[in-house]
């Protein structure tokens, strides 16, 4: 995963909270690479079973010192994080279930918010911003003017989402800038990334089928009908860069103005 080259999976932020810091019910141990839905975890504990497993029997969480595969409860929402797009699925699950807003920054009177948002200290939502669905925004961010954020999106600290930008169902890590006239959909954008004006991620195949992406030397079905790009840390795109669905840009790479990203860039 290009997004995990410079960090461990345990520290990757889901809804701006590191994976290993997400609250778990008391008495539950979990696999370090598992995303555990809290409601499902509570149902598992109430069932009296010993081990929560996925559809193929992988242990996700358990009571006691170790997993007991002779006494299992099958998960329908929780899952192992194996591929980078699984991080999007976990983020969708967490952010979509926010049930109240926390506003520690400033929201301009002309901004429209239809959903629950968590807004960090020092962050500003500027005029003309429209937020639809649940969104998490970190500290010291500048959002807008005139941009469109759609759930379930998480934006880290010290980010800039600028004029006429649309962000949909994505994860933007800290110190990144999606400055103006860009679209980011169903994507993960790393730390200290800068998108040049007019950078567009495509996230839908013309035939509507699931996206496939290259992992090692194999094309893997992501199981996702909508899937944009995975961009590593310290990437810079030239203006009017267009990125095919399911393509990855590895850390410290860049694109030229007008470039069409048809293959992974390493």
Given the residues 31, 118, 180, 211, select the one marked as catalytic. Answer: 180
Question: What domains, with CATH codes, occur in the chain?
Answer: 2-81 (no CATH), 102-261 (2.160.10.10)
DSSP label at residue 238: -
User: Taking a C-beta distance cutoff of 8 angstroms, is the pair 138, 122 a contact?
Assistant: no
Chunked into runs of 10 residues, the chain (266 residues) has average pLDDT values of 91 97 93 96 96 96 94 97 96 97 98 98 98 98 97 96 97 96 98 98 93 88 95 98 96 98 96
User: Taking a C-beta distance cutoff of 8 angstroms, is the pair 242, 260 a contact?
Assistant: yes
**22 catalytic per annotation:** no
Q: Which of 148, 130, 123 lies closest to 16, judged by CA?
A: 123
User: Taking a C-beta distance cutoff of 8 angstroms, is the pair 156, 138 a contact?
Assistant: yes
Q: Which of 237, 228, 131, 140 lies closest to 179, judged by CA?
A: 237
Q: What is the pLDDT of residue 218?
A: 87
Q: What is the pLDDT of residue 251?
A: 98
- Close Cβ partners of 174 (under 8 Å, ≥ 6 residues apart): 138, 156, 157, 158, 159, 191, 192
């Amino acid at each position: 995963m290009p997004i995990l080259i410079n960090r461990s999976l345990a520290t990757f932020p889901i809804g701006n909270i590191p994976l290993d810091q997400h609250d778990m019910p008391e008495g539950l141990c979990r696999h370090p690479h598992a995303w555990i839905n809290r409601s499902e975890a509570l149902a598992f504990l109430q069932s009296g079973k010993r081990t929560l497993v996925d559809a193929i029997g992988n242990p996700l969480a358990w009571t006691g010192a170790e997993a007991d595969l002779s006494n299992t409860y099958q998960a329908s929402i929780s899952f192992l994080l194996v591929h980078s797009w699984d991080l999007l699925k976990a983020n969708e699950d967490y952010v979509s279930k926010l049930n109240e807003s926390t506003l520690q920054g400033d929201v301009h009177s002309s901004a429209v918010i239809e959903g629950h948002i968590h807004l960090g200290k020092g962050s500003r939502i500027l005029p003309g911003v429209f937020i639809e669905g649940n969104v998490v925004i970190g500290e010291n961010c500048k959002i807008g003017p005139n941009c469109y954020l759609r759930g379930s999106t998480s934006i880290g600290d010290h980010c800039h989402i600028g004029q006429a930008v649309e962000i949909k169902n994505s994860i933007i890590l800290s110190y990144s800038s999606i400055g103006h006239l860009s679209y980011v959909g169903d994507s993960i954008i790393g730390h200290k990334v800068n998108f040049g004006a007019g950078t567009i991620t495509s996230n839908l195949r013309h035939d509507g089928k699931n996206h496939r992406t290259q992992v090692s030397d194999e094309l893997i079905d992501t199981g996702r009908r909508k899937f944009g790009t995975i961009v590593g840390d310290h990437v810079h795109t030239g203006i009017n860069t267009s990125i095919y669905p399911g393509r990855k840009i590895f850390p410290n790479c860049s694109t030229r103005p007008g470039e069409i990203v048809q293959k992974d860039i390493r």
